[in-house]
Amino acid sequence: MPISYDSERKLFKLDTSDSSYVMEIYDENYLVHLYYGAKIPDANLKSHKYRGWFASVAPQNIHIEDTLFSPDVSPFEYPCEGTGDMRESAFSVRNAQGNNSTDLRYVSHRIYPGKPRIDGLPSLHVNSDSDADTLEITMADSVTGVRAELYYTVFNEFSAMTRFVKVFNDSDSPVDIERIFSSCTEFNTHDYDMITLYGDWSKERTFERAPLTHIRQGISSKRGTSSHAHNPFGAIAEHCANEEYGSVYGFNLVYSGNFEFSAEVEPHGGTRVLMGINPEAFGWRLESGECFSSPEAVSVYSAHGLGEMSRTFHKLYQKHLIRGRWADIKRPLLINNWEATGMDFTGDKLVTFAERAKELGIDMLVMDDGWFGNRDSDRTALGDWQVNEEKLGGPLSSFIARINSLGIKFGIWFEPEMISHDSNLYREHPDWCIQVPGREKSIARYQYVLDFTRKEVRDYIYSLMKKVIGENNIEYVKWDSNRSLSEVGSLALPPERQKEVAHRFILGTYEVMDRLTVDFPHLLLENCSSGGGRFDPGMLYFSPQIWCSDNTDPIDRLHIQFGTSLCYPASTVGAHVSASRRAGYETKGNVALWGTFGYELDPNTFTEEDREIIKEQVSEYHKYYDLIRSGDLYRLISPWENERRVAWMFVSEDKEEALLTSVVMRKPYDDAFYLRLRGLDPEKYYVDDNSGEVYSGALLMNAGINLTNYGRNDGDSFKIYFHTL
């Protein structure tokens, strides 16, 4: 069994394919963490709860004679606030008496096959109960009357587990949840680095690595979204760990709102790592008899470096996060008009786009922002989701029929969570904005945020979307969100619930997305948030692909896509060829192939030479589709390791084929370029499709291949396809 309980030693042991996770029920029913790491056959780990000799000033439980055990230093599984543990806590409630001392102790547990869902929140799923097993531990605080259920799910095929917490108020009075992290992971050393992904608009998910020190360090968002600034991913890695070697622990939160990933090194050298909702500006009033669920945290252990960690996340998400018909079937190759036209388009102009697209082998035209209300600039009409028939030259159904008659599918853009000051909706319902009474509302991109905590707001917006989609042959929706939350308040909630607004907003967004995917299961939904401002597992649960960044420059995209790949599979990465100038179409295409692939330009401007290049790229998209979407990714040369040249490759699961790609960011100083490949079968022989040469997998991985004559100048790139004899 992947999950076992030793009743004599009171030990829980959770085994994934390559890792073990061990907990102990100690005296007075404290739940203590003992181990997380490479898989071990036994669990003789009781001494792991001790961390050196402790001074008498450390808080002690008067019922425990063991003086080496103290709430202030012991590695608790789910540490609470205000009862002797002075480190960062995972959980805290404030009771009716006004204090927040919280003390959860073990009560009972269950072990069962399968995995529970989380009400109102996205989470990983199982295709059958044989895919995973779940441990459910019940904890309780005898003073506050709060009960917590800790859920641990172990996936049998992967070195991965998920965790979340469900809290119940069994008392007669309301309590306020002030902190509720989804996971706490204790390490008995701090000899690690923290790896995170920081960024900004057009610079999302940039790799950053720093050693853990005796300070509290980490990343967070309080923007109301997971954000451009930080991604809800983090890793704890051995100092020596690289792509192929060393222990790495990856953490990812299935959530699209305010989050925190942090590590605190205690004076005795141990490290506590937390992942969950950012407690800053968060609170939740829990009435008697109510319950609250945290988002789900995913953890992956790799004994073989960052590369194995990433490949585990990729396969786990492809199989157990992404849902619906688009999880497995081939997605359309699309062209989007935004970068070519902005809002300055007509129906006739877009029909010419579709005509050229058909000639090039493109499958779908996506009409972006500007098709509704009086939307001719970004200052107006958000919330007025009525078709501008004058711009399109008639009803939307007639316009789409013209597109479809060419053999081209049709997609459309929405920004459902937003409202323009200059809109009919705002003039009718100014109270429908997120706002704080008496404070002027900040504006961003000339728009406000709708109060999706309110059912009437969600219902109204969804009714407009449903009418447009239900009455027309629309096969794709791009869901955009172009600003963060500020002045976070709701006119519909009482004062004691104002700290709930940010979380309720995300729950409301999830609800509308869920309704959309249930009512229109044929839709391909692509998420966007000023590019990659909400690139997280919560969004992937609803949309199998996310627009990676508004920055489509292929050289800049290398940093963004390499960083994104630490956690997210290529099939989720929205990547297009655009009119950016720093490289030619060949390099643009080679970079965009590492993603969903598509076009973001005006096809009427193509020269005959451009058209031939595009046709070849479309052919390659189909040729390499399965290899890139389901193959294993190997980052051979990363931009955080080499500022001049990068390389990556995809290898099919059966090791029968591989695609190598390399890009010159800046002309290298050295002339010679030998590259060792990875992931191949050393016993098999591979044909280089460019040269016709035959090499063993062992040679390609150990001696490498001479690529000196490939790609030597700024912006150059090449790819080589290998297949077995």
Share of the chain above pLDDT 70, in %: 99
Mean pLDDT (whole number) for 116-121: 97
Q: Which residues pair with 33 in a beta bridge?
A: 23
Q: For residue 362, which of 603, 126, 112 has the smallest C-alpha distance?
A: 603
How far is residue 179's CA from residue 86's CA, in Å, rounded to a whole number?
15
How far is residue 171's CA from residue 147's CA, in Å, rounded to a whole number?
9
Confidence band (pLDDT; 50, 70, 90) for 274?
A: very high
* Residue 55 pLDDT: 55
* Residue 259 CA to its chain's centroid (Å): 12
SS3 420: strand
Mean pLDDT (whole number) for 224-252: 98
CA angle 586, 587, 588 (to 5 degrees): 95
Does 54 score more than 70 pLDDT? no
* DSSP secondary structure letters along 205-216: SEEEEEE--SSE
Residue 392 belongs to what H/E stretch? helix 389-392
How far is residue 286's CA from residue 291's CA, in Å, rounded to a whole number?
7
Q: From the CB of residue 17, how many other CB atoms can be counted at a distance below 10 Å? A: 15
Q: Which residues pair with 220 in a beta bridge?
A: 260
* Residue 376 CA to its chain's centroid (Å): 33
Q: Which H, E and C letters describe 86-140, residue by residue?
A: CCCCCEEEECCCCCCCCCCEEEEEEEEECCCCCCCCCCCCCCCHHHEEEEEEEEE
Q: Is 550 a catalytic residue?
A: yes
Q: Please answer whether residues 591 and 554 qualify as being in contact, where contact means their C-beta atoms are separated by less than 8 angstroms.
A: yes
Mean pLDDT (whole number) for 166-182: 97
Does 26 score more than 90 pLDDT? yes
* Residue 249 pLDDT: 98
Handedness of CA 29, 35, 40, 45 (dihedral sign): negative
How far is residue 504's CA from residue 485's CA, in Å, rounded to a whole number?
12
Which residue in the list 550, 556, 632, 716 is annotated as catalytic? Answer: 550
How far is residue 144's CA from residue 176's CA, in Å, rounded to a whole number?
11
How far is residue 561's CA from residue 549's CA, in Å, rounded to a whole number?
9
How far is residue 452's CA from residue 418's CA, in Å, rounded to a whole number?
10
Mean pLDDT (whole number) for 400-411: 98
CATH of domain 329-416+469-482+510-629: 3.20.20.70
Mean pLDDT (whole number) for 95-106: 94
Does 56 score more than 80 pLDDT? no
Burial class (CB in 10 A: 0-12, 13-18, 19+), 436: middle
Mean pLDDT (whole number) for 381-410: 98
CATH 2.60.40.1180 positions along the chain are: 634-724
Could you report how far apart the first and last alpha carbons of the chain are, in Å? Answer: 41
How confident is the prediction for the chain on average, in pLDDT? Answer: 96
CATH 3.20.20.70 positions along the chain are: 329-416+469-482+510-629
* Residue 11 pLDDT: 97
Structure tokens at 154: 């172990």
Confidence band (pLDDT; 50, 70, 90) for 369?
A: very high
Q: E strands along 327-442, which residues? A: 334-336, 364-367, 409-414, 418-420
Residue 479 belongs to what H/E stretch? strand 476-479
Q: Please answer whether residues 712 and 667 qualify as being in contact, where contact means their C-beta atoms are separated by less than 8 angstroms.
A: yes
Cβ-based neighbours of 367, under 8 Å, separated by 6 or more: 337, 345, 350, 410, 411, 412, 413
Q: Which H, E and C letters describe 483-549, residue by residue?
A: CCCCCCCCCCCCHHHHHHHHHHHHHHHHHHHHHHHHHCCCCEEEECECCECCCCHHHHHHCCEEECC
CATH 2.70.98.60 positions along the chain are: 3-320
Confidence band (pLDDT; 50, 70, 90) for 438?
A: very high
Which superfamily does 3-320 belong to? alpha-galactosidase from lactobacil brevis (2.70.98.60)
Structure tokens at 330: 């081939």
* Residue 53 pLDDT: 59
Query: Which has the higher per-residue pLDDT, 416 or 67?
Result: 416
Confidence band (pLDDT; 50, 70, 90) for 52?
A: low
Q: Please answer whether residues 516 and 523 qualify as being in contact, where contact means their C-beta atoms are separated by less than 8 angstroms.
A: yes
Q: Please answer whether residues 388 and 452 qualify as being in contact, where contact means their C-beta atoms are separated by less than 8 angstroms.
A: no
How far is residue 4's CA from residue 115's CA, in Å, rounded to a whole number?
16
Q: Please answer whether residues 554 and 536 qualify as being in contact, where contact means their C-beta atoms are separated by less than 8 angstroms.
A: no
What CATH number matches the domain at 634-724, 1.10.10.60, 3.10.20.30, 2.60.40.1180, 1.10.287.1040? 2.60.40.1180
Structure tokens at 713: 């100048």
Measured CA distances, 562 to 185, 342, 496, 659 (Å): 27, 28, 43, 16
Does 34 score more than 90 pLDDT? yes
Which residue in the list 18, 131, 368, 480 is annotated as catalytic? Answer: 480
Q: Please answer whether residues 209 and 195 qualify as being in contact, where contact means their C-beta atoms are separated by less than 8 angstroms.
A: yes
* Residue 50 pLDDT: 83
Structure tokens at 404: 């479809």
